[in-house]
Chain A
Amino acid sequence: MSRTRALRRIRWGTIALWVVTILGFAYLFIPLITIAVFSFNDPEGRFNTTWSGFTLDHWKDPFPAGDYTDAFIVSLRVAFVACTIATVLGALIALALARYRILGGTWLNLLLILPLTTPEIVFGASLFTLFFNQGVSRGFWTIVIAHTMFCLSFVALTVKARIRGLDWSLEDAAADLGSPPMRTFFKITFPLIIPGVLAAFLLSLALSIDDYIITSFIAGSVSTFPREIFDSAKVEIPPQVHVLATLIMVVAILILVVGTLVGERRRARLG
């Protein structure tokens, strides 16, 4: 008797769980689908936010000459420069923290976490005051510095988490067999940490390409893609914006899928 009641209660709970999960995923994905759908919209006015008809025109030419294309290219350049620097510096920090016992390690950890838990407006405002006080003119390189800063913490922490459980005895084995340190690094350490480093690099690209709030403080007159969208959102939202965003989303999903498949194959081969 009590057992059937328990069963029935569990089943209701399971149904509720399914419902919340399905609705939750719908909530997450309806706006994404909306973006993709509106990249095929043929808007009547300057705002591509109301549906008025299907067209392929915007996809035929995703990069027409104009402010949005320029801004998009600036965003890509910033992201590649900033994330490359951040990934190298961040991976070195991660290696040091995960691999060695460091004096004051707790404080260094805190110093890495803080940039990620500082509200973006405070982060942006503080960099603004620094550049202002030092008389640095704001533009491409100040954006690169800001993006490097928040990606650096992100890369250091994610790589550290990824490589913590690795088997470092391989390095010792190489050293015992007479391999010089540089050779050990490139033959053993580097291949061990590279999947985590690459994943962190790709995620930090996404962070950089998407940042508006911090960038708005230190960009001067240089426009990045998010900045262009936000600053003109009250005047116009052209369909090109939806096309480029859909493009980024598709590329990212492809990378994610290919990465997972490669990772699984690797694991299968090693395991």
Chain B
Amino acid sequence: MAADTATDDRSLRAGKRIPYVLLIPGMLFTFVFFVVPLITLLKISLSTKPDRLLPNYEFTWEWSNYRAAFDDFGTQLLRSFVYAGIATVICLLIAYPIAYFIAFKAGRWRYVLLGLVMVPFFTSFLLRTIAWQSLLNDSGPVIGLIDRLNATEILDSVGILDNGRLLNTQIAVIGGLTYNFLPFMLLPIYVSLEKVDVRLVDASADLYSPFSRTFRKVIFPLSLPGVFAGTLLTFIPATGDFINAELLGNPNTQVIGSVVQTQFLERNDYPTAAAISFVIMALITAMVLVYAKFLGTEDLA
């Protein structure tokens, strides 16, 4: 930290304008193509829908668009948040042990395993989801295995299978979301686990703390920044995602992302679609704030 300040001071001496010259092009781009569009979206969400398809949206503080968003699409909205929430929790439960293994048990294989975790990033997101169609369809290997184990009825009764089917069910959608966002949960958790000072863990063990307690009191609290980052990186995109719901679900698993896309590109109902978009943003922001408070990690964001 002290070294940082020292360099900063020296740089400031070197020239005060240079950093701003470096910043301006990128920041201007960000302003024009990120901030301005969001303002435009907000304006359209409060505009009156024209009678015919003319681009004359009038800004009239039309709050009814927001009521329409909840009244007409509340189900899909709730469903998206529920799917994303479940997928995030499962991701955390799977990713944490793997990250722990890579950080503490993998030895010299650490970087190889880390590289392997990143490999899914380099394959088409869509095709990975389509691969689940091959795996889960009625003549695919998963159903085949279940049949051979004679487990169809049991799994049907606990709700994992839907009349013997796996593809085009809620389970498939949630499984797809979990799969697609798992690396986003894993990598930040790994980064914070890697930084845990092993001497603290040793000290705790030397003082006769059983491992479960060392984990609860030392390791887990130190990994919370990673858990926080991972949860956000999973939950936020999963809430807006509609690829999994479209490719692995059925008409009853439609999520809010599909609604927004259809309203914009097919129905041309821009005000309602814009209002839905802002509701999603607002809900996510609220949840992130509550979550940050709950974890006590405001300073981490």
Contact = CB atoms under 8 A, between A and B. Distances in A.
Output the residue of B23, B122, B134, B243 with the most chain A CB within 10 A: B122
Given A125-B260, A245-B127, A99 B29 contact: no
A92 B124 contact: no
Output the residue of B105, B127, B232, B270 with the most chain A CB within 10 A: B127
A241 B260 contact: no
A271 B123 CA distance: 34
A172 B18 CA distance: 15
Nearest to A256: B115
A133 B122 contact: no
Interface residues of B, number: 90
A27 B280 CA distance: 30
Interface in B88-106: 94-95, 97-98, 100-102, 105
B270 A129 contact: yes
Interface string B113-141: 10111111111111110111111010110
Contact of A111 (B27, B131, B241, B261): B27
Interface in B165-220: 179, 182-183, 210-212
Interface stretch (B31-39, B61-69, B150-158, B291-299): B31-39
Contacts of A257: 115
Contacts of A169: 7
A60 interface: no
A153 B27 CA distance: 10
Contacts of A262: none
A128 interface: yes
B257 interface: yes
A168 interface: yes
Contacts, number: 256
A218 B230 CA distance: 29
Contact of A149 (B14, B29, B281): B29
A182 interface: no
Interface in A139-171: 145-146, 148-149, 152-153, 156, 168-169
A210 B183 CA distance: 16
Given A121-B280, A126-B37, A32 B120 contact: yes
B240 A119 contact: yes
B245 interface: no
A256 B23 CA distance: 30
A73 to B, nearest CB: 15
Contact of B131 (A18, A32, A229): A32
Contact of A120 (B11, B33, B182, B240): B240
A235 interface: no
A99 B8 CA distance: 7
A30 B40 CA distance: 43
Interface string A1-45: 000001001100110111011001101111110110010000000
A212 B239 CA distance: 15
Interface string A98-115: 011110000010011011
Contacts of A237: 130
21 contacts: A20-B97, A21-B98, A28-B182, A32-B123, A34-B134, A50-B137, A50-B140, A96-B20, A100-B11, A117-B232, A118-B281, A119-B280, A121-B257, A122-B240, A125-B273, A129-B270, A132-B270, A148-B29, A149-B34, A229-B127, A252-B122
Interface of A: 6, 9-10, 13-14, 16-18, 20-21, 24-25, 27-32, 34-35, 38, 49-51, 89-90, 92-93, 95-97, 99-102, 108, 111-112, 114-115, 117-130, 132-133, 135, 145-146, 148-149, 152-153, 156, 168-169, 172, 175, 203, 206, 209-210, 212-213, 216-217, 225-226, 229-230, 233, 237, 241-242, 245, 248-249, 252-253, 256-257, 260
Nearest 7 A/B pairs, CB to CB:
A119-B240, A252-B122, A126-B37, A89-B26, A100-B19, A31-B131, A96-B22
